[in-house]
Amino acid sequence: MTNTYLPDHSRTWVLSGGLSGAVGVFAYFGAAFLPVPDIVGLVLAFAFGPLIAIASLGLAQALINGPPRVGAQVAAFLGAAAGIVVLAMLTVQQALFAAYENIPGTDTARTSLIALGDAVHFGLDIAWDCLISASIVLFALQMWGSPPFGRIFSTLGVVFGLLLFGINIAAFPSPPDSIGWVDMGPFCALWMLAVYIRMCMAGRDRKRKDGLTPARS
């Protein structure tokens, strides 16, 4: 029988990914709900995407139990891509909001220009939703038989990911909350936060176990 232990670089990925993801989710809620100065809000919002990208790569390592699984690797790729897209969406969105303020209120084209700008960042927003929901569902499916996570994480991830995708596609091109529908983003963010905390715990436990028990084959 073969016992599988993560090499040092994999443990580092798990811990780094878990910490990055947890900080990223806190940045997400901080930018959305805390009364912080505008520049701090921008830093928190723009940090979210890159931190989630790093966390996705680390989560794939956390799910290793033997040979790397294709599903986890694809989920990591989609999660990293989602992080890049949400950074693009947020930077474009904030640039557009700043530009809106420079359009004179008497300009007859103001409404059309704002509608055009909104369409751009709404389109990037749905791209982010599609990528992150696919990543969540794929990761959640891999968690079903994974000791650090198990069936509860798996079931909730699949349900939240599918609802995020379905609601946003049905509401497209408008964001769900703008038409009075449920926004699954905060629910998915809380699930992700729980996953990242569990990653940190799993990475720490594996490091302790690896220090006490030599690898054998």
Mean pLDDT confidence for 51-73: 86
CA–CA gap between residue 109 and residue 115 (Å, rounded): 10
In a domain, 214, yes or no: no
Q: Which domain holds residue 71?
A: 8-100+111-207
CA–CA gap between residue 133 and residue 13 (Å, rounded): 22
Residue-by-residue DSSP string for 26-56: HHHHHHHHS---HHHHHHHHHHHHHHHHHHH
Residue-by-residue DSSP string for 109-131: THHHHHHHHHHHHHHHHHHHHHH
In a domain, 203, yes or no: yes
In a domain, 149, yes or no: yes
pLDDT of residue 67: 58
Residue-by-residue DSSP string for 51-87: HHHHHHHHHHHHT-SSSPPHHHHHHHHHHHHHHHHHH
Q: What is the pLDDT of residues 3-54, one digit of tens each?
A: 444 555 678 889 999 999 999 999 999 999 999 999 999 999 999 999 999 9
In a domain, 3, yes or no: no
In a domain, 147, yes or no: yes
Q: What is the pLDDT of residues 114-137, one digit of tens each?
A: 999 999 999 999 999 999 999 999
**Contact (Cβ atoms closer than 8 angstroms) between residue 80 and residue 58:** no
Statement: residue 82 has pLDDT above 50: yes
Q: What is the pLDDT of residues 139-151, one digit of tens each?
A: 999 999 888 898 9
pLDDT of residue 212: 45
Lowest mean pLDDT among 31-35, 82-86, 208-212: 208-212
**Contact (Cβ atoms closer than 8 angstroms) between residue 189 and residue 206:** no
Mean pLDDT confidence for 156-167: 97
Statement: residue 214 has pLDDT above 50: no
Number of domains in the chain: 1
In a domain, 168, yes or no: yes
Token digits of residue 5: 């232990």
In a domain, 123, yes or no: yes
pLDDT of residue 112: 93
In a domain, 106, yes or no: no
Mean pLDDT confidence for 62-75: 81
